[in-house]
Structure 1
Amino acid sequence: MTRRLIVCGLLVLAGVTACGSKPSDNGTQTLPTSTPTTASSTPAANSGAAVPAVKRCDSTALKGQVDPTDAGAGNRYGKFVVTNSSTAPCTLNGYSGFQLENAAGAAIPTKLERKADPGPKALTLAPGTKASANLHWGVVPSGNEPVEGPCQPEPAKAIAIPPDETVPLTMPWTFGPVCSGGRIEISAFYAS
């Protein structure tokens, strides 16, 4: 009797609930059933069809612009805004590259510094929706920059590369020279 109780106890721990009952004639045991729960009741989830992956936002899917937001005491603030101009959703996560250029396409000194507020967060942009990255730069000469005239060459455009991509977006830059050697602070993208 003690042996049977130990065996039944072990079977209970193993998940068998029919201890002491006689197996059916065909040698199989019927276990209790329950209705399975599913995480999704969409036809694709139940049919086994693969859900298409959302691709990263690249320069073919995005349109960019720089919008001013505030100015004061030699500081300038703006937003680098991208819009999903494609017909499909795309994902964006992280920081953009950013380079100032003159009208001929020659690089102008740009020192991009990443700021952690806000930090990287995965975003899915539906067609027509936007994401922004905060920008901050100075217009007061520093170090050995000239105090009369522009502190740096005048940019005509900004070239920005979306996160994890290699082909840039080009947009006009109408905010004058960027002092401190072209220092621009940039945040990660966030929904806007």
Structure 2
Amino acid sequence: MNIIYYIDLLGTMVFAISGAMAANRSGIDIFGATFTGFVTAIGGGSLRDVFLNLRPIWVGDSNYLVAILIGVIISVVANKQLYRLARTLTFFDALGIGFFCVVGVQKSLTYESSQTAAVILGVFSAVMGGVIRDTLMNETPLIFRKEIYATACLSGAIMYVVLGTWGVDTATNAFISTLTVSAIRLVAVKYELSLPGIGG
């Protein structure tokens, strides 16, 4: 099993934490939190796999379901501690989009997508879990707000492709590109950076 597989599992767990935390914050019961964590964790990756004409990987690999369950349990058992670590969902969301962006790009390249398509699918798989989570919570998805969100994923996806072209090994490339996405997102939130709207 390669590094991308473990990154995908870790991203799945982190996004499950993010989804379940969002549900906990809204006062939803444990079943609702589990469901929200599940769809947040598998949403982007499943849609990416559909575009690649593949069966979503979690359907045939129970490790993904275990990762989701662990994420939900962590969010429920350590809810207060998690909020002290990251007062909002931002920390876990930033980690999740970083992991999923890299996995999306690499998997797309593995199945012979063009580099441009791989970048797009990397961004897509990174942001769609959050879109589903926010929609379920009746909130405007982050991607539709004036925040640096998808742009962070785009930067990391392009970096992954470029470093791969330069011959950087997969593990190092994945680490650097994931860190790039997460760091851009966290810095943008901390300093309230955003892209200009249409018309300025």
Task: Report the TM-score when normalising by structure 1.
Answer: 0.30
Larger Rg: 1
TM-score by length of 2: 0.29
More helix per residue: 2
